[in-house]
Amino acid sequence: MEQYLLLAKSLYPNMPDAILNLFAEQWSQTGDPNIAISQVRQTSLYKDYFPGNVTPTGQVRYDEVTYQGLKESYIGTLAEYGIPRGTSLDLLEDRFVSLIEGEVSAREFQQRISGVYQGIQENLPEVQAFYADNYGIDLTPEAIFLGALDPTIGEEIVAGKITTAQIGGEAARAGFDITLSQAERLKKAGLTQTQARQLFTTAQAEIPRLAEISRRVQPEAEAIGIQEFTEAAIFGDPDVTERIQRLQASEESRFAPVAGAARQGARVTGLTEQ
């Protein structure tokens, strides 16, 4: 048995001891390492140590060395962004199985994390300012990054409000000042940071245009602001939506070609102007 255990360790140097012992035992009984590892992979002990690696049909997605290496690559990627190993293990605990089952490669995982980090970096000062002003907490970039990766990490600090702060940060980035309640309402509606950026970028172009039309055709009316715009764009407020549609229709009719002999200005009868 000792001989097989030494051979098992040489084949699988990073294998957990409990799995190595079981593998060595099966190897000593069958005399074939391939049969032995196949039998080990069907045990509940193996599935506890290598969650997600066995498919419903009993096949394995990765050999054990690749499996362990993939997990280490995930942790290494997070370390590149300042996330400590212990925190990474907590972060991956509930998600590692889905990553394995989804066969997410080390490269794909790195691209995903890079995308999240880039989104944070692009408006980090605004997110920090929004969070400090509204929640009274100064968050580090690492904490904001963690919150974006998983709002449940460190809820006593982040409290699931990172996305709210990101929405507020995107508004500030576009030149709008929205309240905490507005940002939270948008978050509850399911708005992501990317969608918030699209919303406020559109608002940057549309609100000044609607304000100019409103001054011309409804000078007494209050201009449409960012709150009204989001009410129409995200929540479909019928009154605001109808007002925007009227303004847009007014602008379109202003530049519409004259039909027949009728036009604004002088009274027209047939083709004779009077």
Q: Does 91 have pLDDT greater than 60? A: yes
41 has a pLDDT exceeding 90: yes
> Tell me, what DSSP letter sits at residue 273?
E
Per-residue confidence (pLDDT) for residue 13, from 0 to 100: 80
Tokens of 151: 């709002």
User: What region does 86 belong to: left with phi over 0, alpha with psi -120 to 50, or beta?
Assistant: alpha
| pLDDT band for position 257 (cuts 50, 70, 90) | very low
The C-alpha atoms of residue 124 and residue 150 are separated, in whole angstroms, by 17
Determine which of 6-20, 38-52, 71-85, 150-164 has the lowest per-residue pLDDT on average.
150-164
Q: State pLDDT tens for residues 102-137.
A: 888 989 988 888 887 787 777 778 878 877 887 776
DSSP 54: B
User: What is the model's pLDDT at position 161?
Assistant: 62
CA distance 265 to 97: 72
What the block records as the tokens of 237 is: 């407020």
Buried b (16+ CB within 10 A) or exposed e, 139-166: beeebbbbbbbbbebeeeebeebbbbbb
User: Which residue has better confidence, 164 or 42?
Assistant: 42
For the chain, the structural domain boundaries read: 2-49
Strand partners, 268: 273
Region 1-23: what's the mean pLDDT?
A: 86
SS3 131: helix
Q: Please say whether the beta carbons of 163 and 130 come within 8 A.
A: no
Contact 78, 96 (CB under 8 A): no
**Which range in 6-20, 25-39, 73-87, 140-154 is most confidently predicted, on average pLDDT?**
25-39
Which range has the worst mean pLDDT, 49-58, 89-98, 159-168, 172-181?
Answer: 159-168
pLDDT, position 260: 36
- Tell me, what's the pLDDT at 157? 42
Residue 244 scores a pLDDT above 80? yes
Q: In terms of pLDDT, which residue wins out, 122 or 77? A: 77
Residue pair 176/199 in contact by the 8 Å Cβ criterion:
no
- Residues 6 or more apart whose CB falls under 8 angstroms from that of 61 comprise 52, 53, 54, 55, 67, 100, 101, 103
Q: What are phi and psi of 268, to 5 degrees?
A: -120, 130
Q: What is the pLDDT of residue 156?
A: 40
Q: Is the pLDDT of residue 241 over 90?
A: no
What is the number of residues in the chain? 274
Please give the structure tokens belonging to residue 234.
């995200």
What proportion of the chain, given as a percentage, has pLDDT over 70? 85
Looking at residue 36, what is its pLDDT? 92
